[in-house]
Structure 1
Amino acid sequence: MIDALDIDLAWWPERLHTVLDEAQAASGLPDAPAAYDALDDFVVRVRLER
């Protein structure tokens, strides 16, 4: 039986960061939301219609 405390998982956070960085670099998504102003305008219009 393997004792969970005997398993070295120190590598896991670095590997996770690597995978996430690669996925972000390959993504076509912008770094920041681009439609915030449009969403805000939409919410204001909807609220004013009530």
Structure 2
Amino acid sequence: MIIHTLKDCPTARAILTHGGLDGRLLDKEYLHCIDWLEDVMCILDRKAFEDLLTTL
């Protein structure tokens, strides 16, 4: 799953952390990608979330 790839890659994890995602979103276990995206949407502002989706 893409979440595991993002969480396990040190470079991706550093970029996500620098971009404003805190440890809760990177350390918490999610069964579905949509659940992770919903939590990210609550934390990031609209523009940052749009940029994340574009990158993904």
Question: TM-score, length-normalised on structure 2?
Answer: 0.23
Of the two, which has the highest radius of gyration? Answer: 1
Larger RCO: 1 or 2 (CA < 8 Å, sep 6+): 2
Per residue, is there more helix in 1 or in 2?
2
